[in-house]
Structure 1
Amino acid sequence: MGYNIVYFSRTGVSKRVAEKVANGLDTKAIEVTDNKSWQGILGFIKGGFYATIGKEVSIKINGEIDRSEEYIVLSPLWAGGPAPAIRTFLKGVPSNQVKLVITCDGSNVEKAINKYENKHGKFKENYGIVKHEKNEERVIEEIINSSK
């Protein structure tokens, strides 16, 4: 089974991880963008607000998605859940075909994923890359190995 590697990134962390996973699986990472500016302190505050209230955003998928494949979806953790662009993307794919990867500095990823799954359905697998745990390389290796 092949995978669509799909990501949204504000600071570059989720992009970096997506590219490492894509390289390990010999495929391309596909960026999801929206029509918002999330830069600076105002972007940070606006992002938290949008994430908290579950506000919809228009998205653009910058690449070809193969609907016959499953998904590895990467997103930063914003206010206890995936970024708004990824929330919008996830509405269009079955959650049981998604391996969700959340990147963050130090939040409780498991709690955030459980909260999202309780509303929207269980993911095939989920992972948390937490900066203060220094687990990025280990988790990337785990994702790649479970996806071959």
Structure 2
Amino acid sequence: MKTLLVYYSRTDVTKKIAEIIQEKLNCDIEEITDNNRYKGAIGYLKGGMNAAMRRTSEINPISKNPSDYDLVIIGTPVWASNMATPIYTYLMKYNKEIKKMASFCTCIRGGYDSALENISEVTGKKPVTTMFLTSKDIENPQEKINTFITNIK
């Protein structure tokens, strides 16, 4: 199954998890970038507000077309109980090109249920599987990642 992992990471936590998954699945990977619009304390506040209000933002062009893949894995941090604004923007633009999807999110401790549900809602697809990692899980993510990968295969 040809798989693409698409993620956004403001602080590199989601990036770390995405890279572990990518290595284990040997799949293509695409980082969604936005010219650091959400860096720092102001970016953190702006990101939470934009996510809560379901605003889109400007993201940089992508290099991989999701329609070329059997499965697209979406990875996002949780912002105000939602997916990160750059991922929301990506999904609003490309959701019709995604055939099947799985999703994961990283968070401090909560909001993941809502964020994962929102991904499903925006894509219009029931995920093959989902995973969330809290700050506690991120210290040792291997077990959750292995279960996530098993559920994909």
Question: What range describes the TM-score normalised by the shorter chain of this pair?
Answer: 0.7 to 0.9
**Secondary structure in 2 matching 1:71:** strand
**Secondary structure in 1 matching 2:102:** strand
Instruction: Measure how far apart 1:68 and its partner are.
Output: 3.1
TM-score normalised by structure 1 residue count: 0.85
Q: Which structure features the higher share of strand residues?
A: 1
Q: Does 1:86 align with 2:87?
A: yes
Q: Which residue of the other structure, out of 114, 138, 144, is the alignment partner of 2:143?
A: 138
Change (3 A) 1:12 1:89: same
Q: How many residues align?
A: 148
Unaligned runs of 5+ in 1: none
TM-score normalised by structure 2 residue count: 0.83
Change (3 A) 1:115 1:93: closer
Structure 1: how far apart are the matches of 2:39 and 2:61?
20
Unaligned runs of 5+ in 2: none
Q: 2:104 aligns to what?
A: 101
Instruction: Measure how far apart 1:118 and its partner are.
Output: 5.1
> How do 1:1-80 residues align onto structure 2 when only pairs under 5 Å count?
1-69=1-69, 70-80=71-81
Instruction: Measure how far apart 1:145 and its partner are.
Output: 2.1
User: Per-residue CA shift, 1:101-139, capped at 9, x if unaligned?
Assistant: 111110131243235545663432221111224562222
**Secondary structure in 2 matching 1:132:** helix
Structure 2: how far apart are the matches of 1:66 and 1:79?
27
In percent, how many aligned pairs have the same letter?
A: 26
Change (3 A) 1:64 1:115: closer
**Secondary structure in 1 matching 2:67:** coil
Structure 2: how far apart are the matches of 1:18 and 1:33?
14
